[in-house]
Chains A and B, each alone.
Chain A
């Protein structure tokens, strides 16, 4: 995956960003630092730690990548599929309602991970029904409702 150099540079940029943003925050009266004080310290420390990490990674050379497992493109797509499924749920749940959206999410992710549809479908239905009972009925969580009232 990424090397320490990349991770360090990301931390450096994030730290500088936090520091610069926090500098725009108002201060307490009498010139005393206010809401920006703590984030500014954090920003400086994060940037410093990121810099050290990047330098350490650079010195070790490119041979020392952190995650060394070979990752095939298909596996990345599966992880992206999981992310897309949650994103899709956030968008679709208020429009389609909880049971349908969650059912679709379950079937889609299971099929993507290699479960046959004939097995994924009953598992999804069973899971959605038990969630409706546990969260909807027992815990009274107002789960998103679709245009058809469920």
Chain B
């Protein structure tokens, strides 16, 4: 009880309250604008968090992300364009409801489901993380190596695009992580004599490039579109929502569970949670024919799942140092900048910080209700902000954000390079998330591998000698084999079908 009161006192400091409100407004704003993602918003927020204490910085990210993922539903209802990719799964249904004159109920439902989903993810984080800490405490470099490889492999396999392209993205991220002084001999790798590269590719400028600059490049290349924005009666947002939730309580609960599970998997964030939840909702629905034509079910299922994934993604990030999604990859970067190393020990050494995060996950989702309501009312005005004005402003903040951490124009150059890389990759079907995860997990994989090998005197079988590392190793190998198995399974019916004509 005393710990709760202490945490509340910490979070009710005027500075923290101000930061929470500002980041909430920022999240709602970015989320409402089609094309701008929560990850981009996080990357642009990090330069500010650099100047804050760890709790305030992380609280800002938690609040902003929850708001942005909800706000992504607003343009889906008003424009038929998802604000963030996490809302894409049920955009069609949302807009169909608008056409049927039920747009306000869709938004009210989105808001309540987002908050409930967010709280379910938060509960998973509060309950699940300490349990996993007990397991993680017994892990050595062998298990940590496999865990990082498994996390990255999972990210490569499940991210959008083909597994092969995901793998290439992950390898590129790993390669970028090797640039700079190496850990075994202090040898400068791939620096080509440039002293600015000795400390490696700066993570935050890289993130701003991959998510901010690439978005500006995409925005500059896409033709200017005028969208017809639907009009809503904002006063009736919550009318009938309670009845719908009562009727579809199974969907609500299932969405939360699916979101939590997918969120906790490395590399699979809110977007995949929403899509998987949508697929399940359709599979088990009594009225699957209504999907895509204005059904409330996918909104409840997937709208709950995407917000539930957010809190859950912090579990592997903080317990094992393996990010659940690109945003938690940035969180790990922020923690490292603050001299905090994610892992089981952080739960003991930073109990106050952890308590603050747990409470903030709940508070942010409660705060979403009034602020989300205001955002819905202001929705159409936010969407009307012209993209050709907004993109240069995002570019300006990207430049200064990349510069601010080290006061280095070289970092602005890194940002630009990775922005171009991110744009070209995405345009050709290569997912970005595995690059980010590769960049974060690269040092962890290499260090644990080298430490393990030196311990085992280069006996590779040592990676399978401990029970836990054996299990993790086998699971990793199975994940690697999955694409091959899937190709074989897909071919078999064809072979059988051929003789029969």
Contact = CB atoms under 8 A, between A and B. Distances in A.
Contacts, number: 161
A34 B167 contact: no
Main secondary structure of the interface of B (DSSP, over half): helix
Interface in B167-219: 167-168, 171-172, 174-175, 178, 182, 184-185, 187, 189-190, 213, 216-217
A7 to B, nearest CB: 6
A52 B190 CA distance: 25
Contact of A143 (B172, B400, B458): B400
Contacts of A133: none
Interface string B419-431: 1100110011110
Nearest to B428: A66
Nearest to A31: B458
A146 to B, nearest CB: 14
Given A7-B428, A53-B165, A115 B386 contact: yes
Interface residues of A, number: 67
A75 to B, nearest CB: 5
Contact of B395 (A22, A82, A119): A82
B449 interface: yes
Contacts of B427: 1, 66-67
10 contacts: A4-B428, A25-B182, A53-B164, A82-B213, A83-B416, A86-B412, A102-B399, A131-B400, A135-B400, A142-B407
B189 A35 contact: yes
Interface string A86-120: 11011001100000001001100110111100011
A131 B394 CA distance: 12
Interface in B434-461: 445-446, 449-450, 453-454, 458
A71 B221 CA distance: 8
Contacts of B429: 66
B238 interface: no
Contacts of A135: 400, 404
Q: Which 4 A-B pairs have the closest CB atoms?
A: A113-B388, A35-B182, A109-B392, A78-B220
B253 interface: no
Given A35-B184, A86-B412, A106 B189 contact: no
B409 interface: yes
Contacts of A128: 396
A13 interface: no
B428 A86 contact: no
Interface residues of B, number: 61
Residue of B182, B184, B216 with most partner-chain A CB within 10 A: B184
Contact of A52 (B164, B419, B424): B164
A120 B449 CA distance: 53
B384 to A, nearest CB: 14
Given A25-B189, A49-B168, A105 B395 contact: yes
Main secondary structure of the interface of A (DSSP, over half): helix
A128 B445 CA distance: 42
A148 interface: no
Interface string B3-38: 000000000000000000000000000000000000
Given A18-B175, A89-B399, A114 B392 contact: no
Residue of A83, A115, A119 with most partner-chain B CB within 10 A: A83
Residue of B213, B220, B221 with most partner-chain A CB within 10 A: B220
A76 B221 contact: yes
Contacts of B47: 139
Given A22-B189, A39-B175, A79-B221, A127 B399 contact: no
B48 interface: yes
A39 B395 contact: no
Interface string A3-45: 0100100010001001001100110100010111111001101
B389 interface: yes
B51 interface: yes
